Amino acid sequence: MPVPGEVPTDRTIVLVGLMGAGKSCIGRRLATRLGLPFRDADAEIERAAGCSIEDIFELHGEAAFREGENRVISRLLADAPHVLATGGGAFMNPETRAAIGERAVSVWLRADLELMLKRTGRRNNRPLLKRGDPRKILSELMVQRYPVYGAADLVVDSVDGPPEVTVERVLDALRERAASIEDAPRVEGVEV
Ligand code: S3P
């Protein structure tokens, strides 16, 4: 039974959102706050492949990366509850999205373009952003992906400032969701 006012930790919490939205940084801190393990899907893909994401894109192509991404996330979702940061394209895969919907609570970390540009500009390791002007690419991805990210269970705005502020917002959103599920009318134990 969930404890009123507490964040339930019986399901994996999956962070989705564009590159530079802060999924790994916020995810790591969120996990610490909740006493859950933290996993990073990109890092797990690199470990499974034995090479970097850049190398996977270059040697095997984006389609192979996407297949690996779906496989790795499905495997992670079968593990005990944890906080999982996913790569920006993961939630676009309908199979991955359905698996997340079944087994986890999804949180879309939404950030504005300037913040994502600032954060992604710190490292030059994202193959998609090397295909042209990062501002144009990220803007196009916002148009393509935001309607799909909108299917996440929760949306939280990632702020430019101390990560703890965004972590607090995620915790509040998770608490609110838990409270609304508890309050939902039930018929013979079934949510209606
Ligand atoms: C991608 C995002 C990256 C990584 C890969 C592709 C995307 O992860 O999975 O470069 O399609 O948006 P981050 O969102 O963690 O940067």
165 CA to centre of ligand 1 in angstroms: 24
Residue 181 has what pLDDT?
86
> What is the number of helices (H) and of strands (E) in the chain?
8, 7
pLDDT 10s digits, 21-65: 999 999 999 999 999 999 999 999 999 999 999 999 999 999 999
4-25 mean pLDDT: 94
Query: Is the model's pLDDT at 192 over the cut of 70?
Result: no
Q: Are 105 and 177 in contact (CB under 8 A)?
A: yes
53 CA to centre of ligand 1 in angstroms: 9
State the first-to-last Cα distance of the chain, in angstroms, to the nearest integer: 18
CA-to-CA separations, 34 to 28, 30, 94, 174, 192, in angstroms, rounded:
10, 6, 28, 11, 29
Q: What angle do CA 33, 34, 35 make, to 5 degrees?
A: 95
Q: What proportion of the chain, given as a percentage, has pLDDT over 70?
A: 94
Q: Please tell me if the CB atom of residue 22 comes closer than 6 angstroms to any atom of ligand 1.
A: no
Residue 187 has what pLDDT?
63
CB neighbour list of residue 71: distance below 8 Å, 6 or more residues apart: none
Residue 182 has what pLDDT?
76
Element (H, E) at 157: strand 154-157
Q: How confident is the model at residue 177 (pLDDT cuts 50, 70, 90)?
A: very high
The alpha-carbon radius of gyration of the chain (Å, integer) is 17
pTM of the predicted model as reported, rounded to 2 decimal places: 0.94
Residue 133 has what pLDDT?
97
Residue of 45, 70, 128 with the most ligand 1 atoms within 8 Å of its CB, for mutation: 128
89 CA to centre of ligand 1 in angstroms: 6
pLDDT 10s digits, 54-98: 999 999 999 999 999 999 999 999 999 999 999 999 999 999 999
Q: Please tell me if the CB atom of residue 145 comes closer than 6 angstroms to any atom of ligand 1.
A: no
Q: Please tell me if the CB atom of residue 87 comes closer than 6 angstroms to any atom of ligand 1.
A: yes
